[in-house]
Amino acid sequence: VRSAAEMAAITESDLGFVPTMGAFHEGHLSLMREARKIHDCLCVSLFVNPLQFGKSEDLDKYPRNEERDFAMAGEVGVDILFAPAANEIYPRESTIVHVPEITDLWEGSLRPGHFDGVATVVLKLFNLVKPRTAYFGWKDLQQCLVIRRMVEDLNVPVSLSFLPTVREADGLAMSSRNVYLSPEDRARAPKLRQTLIALAKALSVEDRSVASELEVARKTLVGQGFRLDYLELVSLNDIRSTLDTKNAALIVAARLGATRLIDNLRLGADVI
């Protein structure tokens, strides 16, 4: 489906929805397979949302491969692939959805406007697709919290399902941007996950200082050649830094070359 009007005209009572920006990998496919098991009808959107990219970000370079995506969606049994053009979604300057507080930190502060773009497009897609349940990956942990908050605050009639991160055999979280890693950086990248696991183990030992363990882990990553944007222990309620390991996650963003990697580990919840 290409047109917004055509998508809006489809009314399926039990529709599962997976919003994506395409360049599918196993992470995307796992969301689709899970939704496929549950719903009569499965819709996947493929839309590289210009509103969530900053001026200096990689909108033009973002990997696109529609034909391959179409074929992969077909194999998973997607019923509706919604792949609109940008002017279908934004025919004029759009009203913007701004989720407060949890967008102030981390990805929100490093990528100004990013979550406004995400919240706006996700609400528009929800209104066009009208899903019963929408599926998102925990890999983008802050994004999950932003969408959950938007849905609660605006009483959006959709239920949300957040699913675990799919990884390469060496632990690197799958991402459309991984293809841009040089061979040297690709070999280094799994250290991100390994550092989170080591840190989570250290924090599970009583009487360890959270602040000093975080500092050790930050130094490890910098020593491995990562340029670190942040590595923090945050509360899953409000994504603020915390020293309390209950209902908390380690979140990290770091760059290797021009590629920015993010990952996270929920203490107590993720298998490590």
- Chain residues binding ligand AMP by CB under 6 A are 20-21, 27-28, 30-31, 136-137, 139-140, 165-166, 173-176
**Nearest approach, Cβ of residue 243 and ligand AMP (Å):** 27
28 is catalytic: yes
21 with 143: CB under 8 angstroms? Answer: no
Q: How many CA atoms lie within 13 A of 241 on its CB side?
A: 9
Q: Closest CB to ligand AMP among 163 and 234? A: 163
Evaluated on CA atoms 30, 259, 125, 96, the torsion sign reads positive
Measure the CA–CA gap between 39 and 212, rounded to whole angstroms. 46
82 with 105: CB under 8 angstroms? Answer: no
**Nearest approach, Cβ of residue 8 and ligand AMP (Å):** 22
Cα 24 to the center of its chain, rounded Å: 13
**Nearest approach, Cβ of residue 41 and ligand AMP (Å):** 19
Choosing from 28, 39, 98, 114, which is the catalytic residue? 28
Measure the CA–CA gap between 116 and 98, rounded to whole angstroms. 5
Sequential DSSP letters for 119-156: HHHHHHHHHHH--SEEEEETTSHHHHHHHHHHHHHTT-
Q: Closest CB to ligand AMP among 177 and 255? A: 177
Q: Closest CB to ligand AMP among 30 and 103? A: 30
Structure tokens at 197: 């696991």
Could you list the active site residues? 28
